[in-house]
Amino acid sequence: MNGRWTRAARGLTSAGVLLALHKPYGVLSQFTPEPSSKWRTLADMAPRLPPRVYPLGRLDADSEGLLLLSDEPGLNTRLLDPRHAHEREYWVLVERVPADEALARLAAGVRLPDHVCAPLRARRLAEGEAAALPPRDPPVRVRKNVADAWLSLSLREGKNRQVRRMTASVGHPTLRLLRWRIGGLTLAETGLLATPGAWRELTPTERRAVFSP
């Protein structure tokens, strides 16, 4: 099913469609290019995507992972309005290994210059937990003499570049950022993990998982 428009063939003509896309690095979460931008857009995938779909939320061009698209009005509010407390989980490769104190500061909700972040769930990924992630293209620039670590951050708000700003505020700049989960559905469960750029329509069961608390 990856990368194919099957809704009509499956008789899904009246209900809206909900798609999962593994957004690659270097792609804007929009169909319209920005002036003088070096980044690609979703329009580069448009010949394969169904008509009239739009992204639910966004991932920055230099971020990767699970992005949902739909042609249904109102889904953005259901997923992104903080009143609905809908959780998204991000896997974040940071410079240096954070101590427990830094994780506690993240979990408590750090104070940024323009925003006080809500409390969240933060943990270090277990050794090998991120091993299934495909390499990033282009590769992450790392310093050979500086360790790095993968974190999981689960939050219910999405300010501009919030995750990157939060990790930098506790002394651990983000090197790579991937959205791992929306609601109860992970990127791995979509079957798209190994194929950045691939997409498919979600099943009714997967759709219910997305909207689970």
Other CB atoms within 10 A of residue 189 CB: 15
Asked if 109 and 120 touch (Cβ cutoff 8 Å), the reply is: yes
Phi, psi of 209, deg, nearest 5: -65, -40
Residue 60 among the catalytic residues:
yes
Residue that the structure tokens 């408590």 belong to:
108
* Diameter of the chain measured on Cα atoms: 57
Q: Which of 44, 60, 62, 148 is catalytic?
A: 60
Give one DSSP letter per residue of 88-131, joined into a string.
EEEEEEEES---HHHHHHHHH-PEETTEEPPP-EEEEPPTTTTT
- For the chain, report the end-to-end CA distance as a whole number of angstroms: 27
Asked if 48 and 5 touch (Cβ cutoff 8 Å), the reply is: yes
Choose among 66, 77, 90, 105: nearest CA to 164.
90
Structure token digits, residue 184: 């109860």
Residue that the structure tokens 């933060």 belong to:
122
**What pairs with residue 15 in β-bridges?**
none
Quote the CA–CA distance of 15 and 73 in Å, as a whole number. Answer: 11
Catalytic residues: 60
